[in-house]
Amino acid sequence: MGKDNKKQTMLDQAQPRLQVEGLAGRRGERLLFKNMNFTVDMGEVLEISGHNGSGKTTLLRLLCGLLLPEEGTLQWRGQPINKIRPLYHSELSYVGHTDAIKGELTAHENLMIAGALNGGGIDPEQALERVGLTTIRELPGRFLSAGQRRRLALARLLVNRAWLWLLDEPFTALDKVAIRTIATLLEEHAAAGGIAIFTSHHAINIAHARTLEISA
């Protein structure tokens, strides 16, 4: 077995775990946080809380690789993320503020494309049922309400199997029923050994969850 194959085998056998050490994040000229340390293991949900402008979104963008840290290291499966970036990105799903829904495609078609790009999860029809969108499966994305678009964006998590979910304000625009539905999806993901990290302004009761507060 070659050196690269041995390394990949070791990574595959290593437990999915996200480790953050000495992390510092900046937005423009402002240093939002520094010396941040935490670890999230299999079966855990981490809620990132803090006031507006504290750096919650910046932290998620750092974790998913859209931004580079001012200081500190990020490790996945015990390895620096910058050394295993393709593997890391293949094992995470990110849902940001924007829903990234194709307006000219139906709800079902949006999930079909998402599944074709990554896949490994449940069938798009099942995903639509789980988030309560079966009745609008043939409705183009441009006609969906804000809450429906949010649920459709989160349904991509179900058609794309990933160990790590990174979600920025996933409960925005959702009613109480939909909030409970998405909270249940997070609980089920953790119960299956997955990891979820999300930001929220809502007080959400989620099993397996703990909170990390970003303070000035």
Q: What is the pLDDT of residues 57-116, one digit of tens each?
A: 999 999 999 999 999 999 999 999 999 999 999 999 999 989 999 999 999 999 999 999
Rg (CA), the chain: 18
Residue 161 tokens, joined: 């199997």
Quick one: fold of 25-91+165-178+194-216? Rossmann fold (3.40.50)
CB atoms within 10 A of CB 197: 24
For the chain, what are the domain ranges? 25-91+165-178+194-216, 101-162
**Phi, psi (deg, nearest 5) at residue 123:** -65, 145
Report whether pLDDT(11) > 70: no
Residue 216 tokens, joined: 């000035």
Question: What's the pLDDT score for residue 14?
Answer: 83
Pairing of strands 164-168, 195-199: parallel
Report whether pLDDT(153) > 70: yes
Rounded to a whole number of angstroms, the distance between the first and last alpha carbons of the chain is: 50
134 CB burial (10 A radius; 0-12, 13-18, 19+): middle
Q: What crossing angle do the helices spanning 146-159 and 176-191 adopt, rounded to 10°?
A: 10
Average predicted confidence (pLDDT) for the chain: 92
Residue 198 tokens, joined: 């999300």
Residue 186 pairs in a beta bridge with none
**Phi, psi (deg, nearest 5) at residue 169:** 50, 60
Taking the C-alpha atoms of residue 107 and residue 51, their distance in angstroms, rounded to an integer, is 34
